[in-house]
A and B are shown apart, each in its own frame.
Chain A
Amino acid sequence: MVKFIIRRLLGMIPVLFVISVLLFTLVQSVPGDAFTGDLNPKIDKKYIDEMREKFGLNKSPVEQYFIWLKNFAQGEFGISFKNKLPVSDLIVDRIGNTVFLAVTTLIITYLLAIPIGIYSANRPYTLSDNTITTFSFIGLSLPTFFGALLAIYIFSINLEWFPSSGTVTAGAGYTGIQYLLDRLHHVLLPAVTLAILSVASYTRYIRSSVLDVKQQDYVRTAYAKGLPRKKVMRKHVLRNALMPLITFFGLDLGGLFAGAVLTETVFTWPGLGRLIFESTVNRDYPVMMTCYMLIAISILIGNLIADILYAKADPRVRYD
């Protein structure tokens, strides 16, 4: 297993190299740069060109790529054109928020989706199953943006249960447990909004997976040898039916760093999603490249973790 992990990690290097070349080409081929439109009739064009020179934008793309690669490999992510802050500072500033929101969302998703999916699968094509199916489809087709606004309108503005924006109460200066509760109070609404979407799809997958496994021969055998229903469900059905969740978990883990642009925007939640969006709009190359690479790396690692978990969960899967 250790060998396998090392092999996979080494294999990532050429993959990341290819990804970085592709990303850099894409990023460079978008029209305009950080200083396009950063023009003001009071500013001489000459000074803008001086800025390009200062930030190395006048060099050839190939040259720029190798400078970037050399710095990136050494952990130097550069300075944001727009913010004038080191990219690492910008990312560190936001990564906590993103992870906090994503993990809360994931927990809510699993807590809701697994019981609902199983419940649904155990009563296929009944009124309750059909109701769940209907709501799942509504949830799936609800645009995040709209769902977020609806949630704010109901729970924040009308019922006043949750704050509508931000990650902490402005200027409250909470510490310790109070701070944690304040953060939790702020994260719940966006997390539930995001979770509702994934609950909808997770429920569908779990339902069909459980239904599928229930029709397997070994389940019939288990019943035939006289095992009680509950035990069959727990030991034979669920263990196998929930296996595909590992794949989703791996994907979710990879997507973690991509953030959620729309939800973050509506809830004024400063996460990586908005950083990626803003840097792209501003053509802030150092931030763009670092964020995209971060996403690429986390997807590769997410996949690796999913593979490892498979080996642990499924005795048929062996990597050595």
Chain B
Amino acid sequence: MKKKWLIGSIALVMILSLFLAACGGKKDDAEKDGDGASDGKPVDGGKLTVAETAAFVGKFNPIHWEDETDKDVVYNVYDELWTEDKNMNYVPRLAEKWEIASDGKAMTIYLRKDAKWHDGKPVTADDLIFTYEQIASPEYTGVRFSSVDIIKGAKQKHDKKADKISGISKVDDHTVKLEFEKRLADPLAKVFRVPMPKHIFEKIDPKNMANHEATRSKVVGNGPFKVKEAKPNEYVILEKNKDYYRKGKPHLDQVVFKVISQDVAVGALKKGEVDIYPKIPGRDFDKLKKDKKLVTGEEQDLAYNYLGLDHNSPKFKDKRVRQALVYATDRQGIIKAVSKGHGYLINQHITKLSWAYNPKLENAYPYDPNKAKQLLTEAGYKDTNGDGFVEDPQGKPFSIQLHYPSDSANSAKTVPIIKENWKKAGIKADIPQPREWKTFLELLDQGKLETFLMAWGLDPDPDPTEVWRSNAEFNKLHYKNPESDKLIAEQAVEMDKNKRKEILAKWTEVINEDVPQIFLNGRTIMGAWHKKVKGVDWDYRAVVGTLADWWVTDAK
């Protein structure tokens, strides 16, 4: 439930947060780089204005939010049971501790006793159970069921065969035991972890929950901030929760999320209309870095760009051809030209920030058009008619269509570079008209795109099951590999982190050898803020759940 998978964003959010965010891993000079650790003693009070480049939808509800902007509010108003820190280690929040059964099929969650809802009522086991029951309810209209259906009996409730989820039991007022359908490698990553207040929502018809004022404006959370005023198309104002259970936090009295057009945000930041601009596109970031009034931060994000290959197409049957395509692609050149250097090479479906990242693949497939030519020759692809492009082994013309969605300026710049790169290795590529986002997805669903330039947003948990299993719904590559499937299944139930890491390393190596898709580049997340803003330890989380640690020096 952490980072929203980018494929699921609406097109607008996609334009803003998905494709323009392609960027690079260089460190700034230490003085200007955002590192909250050296900012001194926090000051309480003051106001912080945050630029949001997409409007809020206004569903400030842990089980109903869908957009990144709404998430920024939800995760500062509601706390999680546990959360991932900068290095993706679990940190307790509403749960003070947890125990996982040795067979990985159950866990017990111990809630803190001092956490309170914004109206003063304590956060209890009943709230957590109520939240799970709501999500499993057949009347639920949101999209979170997949993080509850792992609990025994949740599916039965969803299918109206039971009134209650059988796998949940209340041990006492602050302790909940969950039983799972099957053994989970890391239940903490899979279980839904943002409780909502039972005493508020039990009175509301689940069908109307998403548009009820308890979701829209009168939000009762338990996090460091409360919603003071919400005008989703223009701004959302949060105010300090004075009774927050983490003593001494938050420091800020008020946080204003101001919706502002991406074209105006840079000017507004310079002028001081906003204090921080998270998620800056690369082209604007370089300009802001030169501004002496500002501090900038650039860190690895969880998203990466790739060129998908449809394995149902006979063109990509031969592994050597796929390998040749990667060797023929100047990926570093694309980072330089398209992302203005804000990005890094990536060769696996695991973020570099994760404990499971396989460093051995760091330098796989360097740009080498000659190697590409050699592999193509081996596979029987030769230029028989002397036009500079190879023909397939049967002597027929060979060319690849590069599909991309029209909403993305960066994709439009990437595709011609790939075409030129491939030309040097004798591979012909065509660039058809780009398609509008939803049209593109529809064609992708129907398997009508032989290649597709897209992006994945990764989860802190490295489990590749939902994307890479041969029969996974999101395996749009139609990639089938029994060896990969076997490793994926093994890691999904391996509770020993070190063993799981080994299995995942093997899996990434299998994928790296087999080249089911062309990994292009990982992205960085860039932010800039005024010097008065302190305590910002910039990383992939941006403002999601991090605002409680920040303060401003001009607090009154």
Contacts and interface: CB of A to CB of B under 8 A. Distances in A.
B270 interface: yes
B493 interface: no
Contacts of A171: 228-229, 235, 237, 254, 256
A283 B258 CA distance: 26
A228 B267 CA distance: 55
Interface in B263-298: 263-264, 267-268, 270-271, 273
Contact of A83 (B58, B146, B258, B467): B58
A51 interface: yes
B474 A270 contact: no
A170 B237 contact: yes
Contacts of A40: 4-5, 7-8, 143, 146
A266 B267 contact: no
**Does more than half of chain A's interface fall in helix, strand or loop, or is it mixed?**
loop
Interface stretch (A106-114, A161-169, A234-242): A161-169
Of listed B11, B438, B441, residue having the most chain A CB within 10 A = B438
Contact of B211 (A84, A168, A266): A84
B275 to A, nearest CB: 13
A157 B270 contact: yes
B473 A32 contact: no
A282 interface: yes
Interface in A264-280: 265-268, 270, 278
A149 B237 CA distance: 26
Contacts of A282: 10-11
A156 interface: yes
Contacts of B443: 31
Contacts, number: 148
B259 interface: yes
Contacts of B332: none
A93 B57 CA distance: 13
A153 interface: yes
Interface size class of A (residues with CB under 8 A): 35 or more
B207 to A, nearest CB: 9
Interface in A144-176: 149, 152-153, 156-157, 160, 163-168, 170-171
Interface string A242-282: 00000000000000000000000111101000000010011
B439 interface: yes
Interface stretch (A2-10, A41-49, A133-141): A41-49
B185 to A, nearest CB: 15
Nearest to B209: A84
Nearest to B443: A31
Interface residues of B, number: 55
A166 B474 contact: no
B442 A42 contact: no
B260 A268 contact: yes
A85 interface: yes
Contacts of A283: 438
Contacts of B8: 37-40, 43
A165 B264 contact: yes
Contacts of B59: 83-84
Interface of B: 1, 4-5, 7-8, 10-12, 49, 55, 57-59, 64, 66, 141, 143, 145-147, 149, 210-211, 228-229, 231, 233-235, 237, 254, 256, 258-261, 263-264, 267-268, 270-271, 273, 437-439, 441-443, 445, 466-467, 472-474
16 contacts: A36-B438, A37-B11, A38-B10, A39-B7, A44-B145, A51-B143, A84-B210, A157-B267, A164-B260, A165-B258, A166-B234, A166-B258, A168-B231, A170-B258, A171-B235, A268-B233
Given A156-B271, A171-B228, A171-B235, 19 more contacts: A31-B443, A32-B442, A36-B441, A37-B8, A37-B438, A40-B8, A40-B143, A47-B146, A51-B141, A79-B211, A83-B57, A84-B59, A84-B64, A152-B264, A153-B267, A164-B260, A166-B234, A270-B233, A270-B234
* Pairs A-B, 9 closest by C-beta atoms: A270-B233, A32-B438, A41-B466, A84-B210, A40-B8, A170-B235, A157-B267, A37-B441, A31-B442
